[in-house]
């Protein structure tokens, strides 16, 4: 599992064999089965997770008990409640394994140490932050400026793997519509 992370990091930064070896020992392997909750609202997020295999869902639950998915993360992506993690304050979101997962996680203390000590690690963090922010900006704009049918098309075009890999119920919770509406609209494409 560590090998995947090593590859991921060197891909991003070019060859830097020295500092990679500083970083890797701080990660801990974690195998979690489908349905495992890694974080709940009110809880302080202590880890950043790197996905070696599987899929994580970040979501909230509304007053009627419906889930709204903010984002799905898959292989070679990083997941955490960034703001809650950085400030060590309670989260407002759930993080759940929607498939069996092989994960690597790094603890808050190690993370802070590394960003301070290893510039390349800080650079990766900044990169992740900027990309995450950009994705979330896109997410707001698609949610507000596209109707349900166009959001489905958007998802098929931009995240075809997510579309085919997850259940309709999960996809619907990401698109902000009911599973029934998703079924009906898909037949119109």
Partner DNA sequence: TTAAAGTCTTGACATATGTCAAGCGTTTTC
Partner DNA sequence: GAAAACGCTTGACATATGTCAAGACTTTAA
What does the binding site for a copy of itself look like in residue numbers (CB under 8 A)? 60-63, 66, 68-70, 82-83, 86, 92-93, 126, 129-134, 136-141, 143-146, 150, 176
93 contact choice in a copy of itself, DNA, none (CB below 5 to 8 Å, kind-dependent): a copy of itself
141 contact choice in a copy of itself, DNA, none (CB below 5 to 8 Å, kind-dependent): a copy of itself
Q: Tell me how far CA of residue 153 lies from CA of 21, 89, 109, 171, 187, in angstroms.
A: 43, 37, 42, 12, 12
Q: Tell me how far CA of residue 155 lies from CA of 19, 69, 84, 174, in angstroms.
A: 37, 14, 28, 10
Tell me how far, at minimum, the Cβ of 145 lies from DNA, in Å. Answer: 12
- Tell me which stretch binds DNA (CB under 7 A): 14-22, 38-46, 76-84, 180-188: 180-188
12 contact choice in DNA, a copy of itself, none (CB below 5 to 8 Å, kind-dependent): none
132 contact choice in a copy of itself, DNA, none (CB below 5 to 8 Å, kind-dependent): a copy of itself
User: Is position 179 an interface residue for DNA (rule: CB under 7 A)?
Assistant: yes
Q: Name which of 8, 48, 13, 10 is nearest 30 in CA terms.
A: 48
Q: Name which of 21, 53, 62 is nearest 34 in CA terms.
A: 53
User: Is position 185 an interface residue for DNA (rule: CB under 7 A)?
Assistant: yes
Q: Count the residues of the shown chain that bind DNA, applying the rule CB under 7 A.
A: 19
Tell me how far, at minimum, the Cβ of 102 lies from DNA, in Å. Answer: 17
User: Cα(79)–Cα(97) distance, rounded to whole angstroms?
Assistant: 11
Percent helix, percent strand, percent coil in the chain, to nearest 5:
50, 25, 25
Q: What is the DSSP letter of 35?
A: T
Q: Which is nearer to a copy of itself, 32 or 69 (by Cβ)? A: 69
User: Is position 180 an interface residue for DNA (rule: CB under 7 A)?
Assistant: yes
Q: H-helix or E-strand containing 40?
A: none
Q: Are 104 and 173 in contact (CB under 8 A)?
A: no
User: Cα(39)–Cα(146) distance, rounded to whole angstroms?
Assistant: 30
Contact pick of 3, 18, 147, 157 for DNA (by CB under 7 A): 147
Q: Which residues bind DNA (CB under 7 A)?
A: 64, 66, 147-149, 167-169, 176-181, 183-187
């Amino acid at each position: 599992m560590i090998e995947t992370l090593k590859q991921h990091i060197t891909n991003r930064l070019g060859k830097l064999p020295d500092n990679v070896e500083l970083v890797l020992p701080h990660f801990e392997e974690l195998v979690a089965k489908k349905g495992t909750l890694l974080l709940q609202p009110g809880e302080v997020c202590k880890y950043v997770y790197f996905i070696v295999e599987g899929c994580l869902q970040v979501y909230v639950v509304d007053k009627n008990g419906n889930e709204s998915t903010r984002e799905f993360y898959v292989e070679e992506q990083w997941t955490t409640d960034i703001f809650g993690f950085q400030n060590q304050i309670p989260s407002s979101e759930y993080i759940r394994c929607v498939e069996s997962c092989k994960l690597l996680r790094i603890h808050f203390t190690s993370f802070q140490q590394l960003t301070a000590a290893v510039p390349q690690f800080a650079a990766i963090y900044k990169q992740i932050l900027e990309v995450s922010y950009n994705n979330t900006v896109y997410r707001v704009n698609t949610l507000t400026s596209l109707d349900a049918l166009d959001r489905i098309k958007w998802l098929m075009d931009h995240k075809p793997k997510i579309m085919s890999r997850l259940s309709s119920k999960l996809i619907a919770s990401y698109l902000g519509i009911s599973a029934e509406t998703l079924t009906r609209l898909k037949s119109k494409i």
